[in-house]
């Protein structure tokens, strides 16, 4: 009987840990998200920077480069409008939160999940189950272009902000993989959109690819293992106290712990590109 109770307790603890981690990843919003409360506590003496995007901006399953900017840009109020697992579809749902800040500068880093959702029906269903896309939606390149163009149209019409758009980070470190080839295509569109709409273009992808090409090493894991690696990364970070950099090394990568997210090297590239753009 006591053995049964021990097993039951272990199962209960594991269930509670899983539920906590699930909420941490899928339900969490950044402390400095532009909520009504945070907007009403804005410092009127500072300019406003809003970083708009997905988990690579959110920074709770990825290196938090937005927090770096918060500490390094003393004359800016920095809002983190990144949400885990978001696509261009969901950025459009949340765009009013950004507009309401009356920002002076906006960064946009989006597209990783738009690409990832095209990598098979299983991935598409995961985004549907998370509520990021409707049950009848199958993300594709044409929708990405349409959504992104609409995001820029609304931000230009409803704010006076300078807008910086970023190419997609690498999706795994096998640059010949289908996911990275798609991300190349999506990034080319972002670059062209920046030219057409006179936006600031930040070459995140180009910088990361150049780093990998100069630092070649054999890979231990494939892109197809991403979901497993992501789970291991979250457990290692939140339960075992490992840093994203330590997890990256353990998984045999250089820039990403799990194929989708950033370590301090990759996140630092993003941060530095944003800082440089804001000087001009």
Do strands 105-109 and 47-53 pair parallel, antiparallel, or not at all (unpaired)?
parallel
- CATH number of the domain that residue 112 is part of: 3.40.50.1110
25-39, 95-109, 206-220, 236-250: range with lowest mean pLDDT? 25-39
Count of domains observed in the chain = 1
- Is 90 inside a domain boundary? yes
Across the chain, mean pLDDT equals 94
pLDDT at 15 over 90: no
- As a whole number, mean pLDDT of residues 22-31 equals 80
Q: pLDDT band at 48, cuts 50/70/90?
A: very high
pLDDT at 18 over 60: no
pLDDT value at residue 234: 94
Q: What is the pLDDT of residues 91-122, one digit of tens each?
A: 999 999 999 999 999 999 999 999 999 999 99
- Is 7 inside a domain boundary? no
pLDDT at 143 over 80: yes
Q: pLDDT band at 1, cuts 50/70/90?
A: low
- Is 225 inside a domain boundary? no
- Is 253 inside a domain boundary? no
- Is 120 inside a domain boundary? yes
Torsion over CA: 252, 241, 205, 170 (sign): positive
- Is 203 inside a domain boundary? yes
- Is 8 inside a domain boundary? no
Query: What percentage of residues in the chain have a pLDDT greater than 70?
Result: 92
pLDDT at 68 over 70: yes
Q: What is the pLDDT of residues 225-247, one digit of tens each?
A: 999 999 999 999 999 999 999 99
Q: pLDDT band at 5, cuts 50/70/90?
A: confident
Residue 122 belongs to what domain range? 29-215+263-279
- As a whole number, mean pLDDT of residues 141-155 equals 98
Q: pLDDT band at 208, cuts 50/70/90?
A: very high
Q: Which two tokens stand for residue 106?
A: 């906006």
- Is 4 inside a domain boundary? no
Q: What is the pLDDT of residues 177-196, one digit of tens each?
A: 999 999 999 999 999 999 99
> Is residue 132 within 8 Å of residue 85, measured between CB atoms?
yes
pLDDT value at residue 245: 98
């Amino acid at each position: 009987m006591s053995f049964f109770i021990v097993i039951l307790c272990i199962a209960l603890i594991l269930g509670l840990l899983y539920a906590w981690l699930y909420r941490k990843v899928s339900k969490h919003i950044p402390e400095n998200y532009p909520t009504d409360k945070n907007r009403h506590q804005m410092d009127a003496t500072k300019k406003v920077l809003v970083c708009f995007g997905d988990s690579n901006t959110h920074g709770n399953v990825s290196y938090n480069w937005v927090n770096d900017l918060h500490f390094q840009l003393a004359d800016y109020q920095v809002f983190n409008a990144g949400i885990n697992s978001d696509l261009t579809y969901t950025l459009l749902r949340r765009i009013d939160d950004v507009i309401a800040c009356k920002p002076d500068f906006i960064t946009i880093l989006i597209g990783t999940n738009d690409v990832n959702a095209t990598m098979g029906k299983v991935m598409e269903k995961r985004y549907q189950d998370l509520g990021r896309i409707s049950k009848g939606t199958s993300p594709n390149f044409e929708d990405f272009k349409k959504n992104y163009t609409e995001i820029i149209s609304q931000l230009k019409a409803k704010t006076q902000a300078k807008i910086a758009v970023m190419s997609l980070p690498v999706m795994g470190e096998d640059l010949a993989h289908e996911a990275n080839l798609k991300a190349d295509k999506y990034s080319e569109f972002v670059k062209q959109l920046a030219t057409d709409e006179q936006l600031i273009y930040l070459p995140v992808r180009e910088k990361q690819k150049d780093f990998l090409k100069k630092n070649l090493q054999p890979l231990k894991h494939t892109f197809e293992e991403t979901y497993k690696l992501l789970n291991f990364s979250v457990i290692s970070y939140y339960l075992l106290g490992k840093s994203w950099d330590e997890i990256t090394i353990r998984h045999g990568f250089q820039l990403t712990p799990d194929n989708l997210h950033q370590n301090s090297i990759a996140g630092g590239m993003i941060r530095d590109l944003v800082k440089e753009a804001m000087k001009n």
